[in-house]
Amino acid sequence: MKKKIIVVPQAGLGNRMRVLASAVQLAKRDNRELWIAWPVNAALGCEMTDIFQSIGMEYSVPPKWINFLLTNIYRPGSNSRFFGLLKFVSKLFAGQTLFDDDIRDDRTNRVKQLKISSEESTVLIATCFPFGDQQVEETYNDYMKNEELAEQFANFKFSEILKERVKQEYQKIGEPYIGIHIRRTDHVHTIKDSPDENYIIQIDRYLAENPAQRFLLATDDEPTKILFKKKYGNQMHIFNHKIGRDDLEGIYGGVVELLMLANSSKIICSCKSSYSNTAIVLGAIKDIVYIDTHVFDIAKPMQA
């Protein structure tokens, strides 16, 4: 019987894409069959096939009862709280199991050196983090942008519906444009580290270089939309479609926004945003401006 890897991608779409990319890498390397147990829940309320035509290799869905168990007992919080118990239960499915705590050191924000057995007949991985067993020294955010993951992201093929909606957005804004991602409503701690003023300084710098420059603003905060639209007018294209995680229309809005950011010529964002980092990897964006205060303050003397 062919060896397999069972993966349970968790949290939102960006996290799940990194998990899928990592799983495909591992499955191809060890010539494993890939099983994907895709949770439909409050974090992402749609089926995987609603978003992707292909992820870069063939995969199977586990048998119905196994899929039900995998998608309901493995959750990010539960995996940590009931670590020992779930490790024991996992022996029903796999010889080796990996959770978030196995993959990332939460105290140092560093990727752990994993030992993923190429000999185990079945490996089960339930996580929201990218993973691998290559030697790593990067912090988590740096690791998300490694070249191998970027290559795998290029294999993701999105649904025809999503591709058509992205095409319609392109027609509205025109190209090329600079992408701006500002996260506010569910990431309160980022407001202090990445204030609007830091974004405005960078936008004004690009406008001084090219007064006709166009921008795409992706944000979940209405006051931010109003502020930037009032300041920059029609040069600031604001993505205003419904965005959410619990219904298909809102999910489609979020994916289209992500794909639009990924196709930016350059991106202005926070280095702490996994959403921005997903867009960077997906679009292989090389020109990145991080506006976080600890980065921004260091850069000021260099720009003077």
* pLDDT for 84: 83
Q: Which of 254, 264, 247 is nearest to 47 (CA)?
A: 247
Phi then psi for residue 267, to 5 deg, are -135, 140
Helices (H), the chain: 13-30, 64-73, 76-81, 83-89, 100-103, 140-143, 147-153, 160-173, 189-193, 196-209, 222-232, 248-262, 274-283, 293-303
* pLDDT for 242: 76
* pLDDT for 191: 67
* pLDDT for 229: 95
* pLDDT for 302: 38
Q: Are 51 and 75 in contact (CB under 8 A)?
A: no
Q: Are 83 and 19 in contact (CB under 8 A)?
A: no
Domains in the chain: ranges and CATH: 4-158 (3.40.50), 160-303 (3.40.50.11350)
Q: What is the mean pLDDT of each run of 10 residues along the chain (304 residues)?
A: 92 91 90 96 95 96 94 81 84 88 73 68 90 57 62 90 93 90 68 85 96 93 92 92 84 94 94 84 90 60 40
* pLDDT for 139: 47
* pLDDT for 190: 60
The pTM for the full model equals 0.85
Q: Which two tokens stand for residue 281?
A: 């990897």
Q: Are 6 and 62 in contact (CB under 8 A)?
A: yes
Question: What are the pLDDT digits (tens) for 26-42?
Answer: 899 889 999 999 999 99
Q: Give the rounded distance of the alpha carbon of 80 from its chain centre.
A: 21
* pLDDT for 82: 79
292's CB contacts (< 8 A; 6+ apart) are 193, 194, 198, 270, 271, 272
The DSSP H or E segment spanning 219 is: strand 215-219
